[in-house]
Amino acid sequence: MKLIIKYIIIFMLILSGLFFDNIINIYKDIILNTNIVVLLVTLIAGLFGFIVAVIPFAIQLFNQDNSDKKNSFLNKLMTKKKFDFFVKPMFNRFIKMLYVMFILFLYTFLLNILQTIDFKGITFIFKEIYEIPLYKYGIVFLFYLYVVLIIQFFTMLRNIIRDLQTLVFNFFKVKEEEFKYMENK
């Protein structure tokens, strides 16, 4: 519910841009800024590659036979409670992040296509489109979609970073317990 309210508030703020031409121009400049698009696509490509590489590695790691009990970290992580609480949600977030990155990449691809079209060269169409308020609605819609996708992307990125942080902390905790056990032996 909080998420829906947040998006409605953002939409209302962005919708206010319909009444001010300067704000529409700012929206247009932001969504068609080449530097932002290149930065975003580079970030997406790097993270996409990372996640695609991590998922098969993690599946292989969690699927190995630990019957010899040499890897206490994996043994603790593979208990039913920890697996359902930590591993399953982490995999689900990885997959969801792949979808969000794919949609955001398609969106930036669409923006790049829109940026290369020379609307001013087609003056009669440009004048018709620009005078119709529908053009402003299109810019507002594209900007809103941009903001929503960016928020979703960075929220997912934050969640994945927290998952990895928790995984590292659990690893350190298990290793400290192992060292204490070995010292007491």
Is 174:76 a contact under the CB 8 Å cutoff?
A: yes
Written as six digits, the tokens of 14 are 């962005």
Q: What is the band of 135 on the pLDDT scale with cuts at 50, 70, 90?
A: low
Q: What mean pLDDT value characterizes the chain? A: 74
Is residue 72 scored above 70 in pLDDT? no
CB 146 within 8 A of CB 31: yes
Q: Which regions of the chain does DSSP assign to beta strands (E)?
A: none
Check pLDDT > 80 for residue 159: yes
Contact 31, 143 (CB under 8 A): yes
Helix (H) or strand (E) holding 46: helix 34-63
Confidence of residue 50 (pLDDT cuts 50, 70, 90): confident
Give me the mean pLDDT over the 159-184 stretch: 79
Q: How confident is the model at residue 69 (pLDDT cuts 50, 70, 90)?
A: low
Domain range list for the chain: 35-177
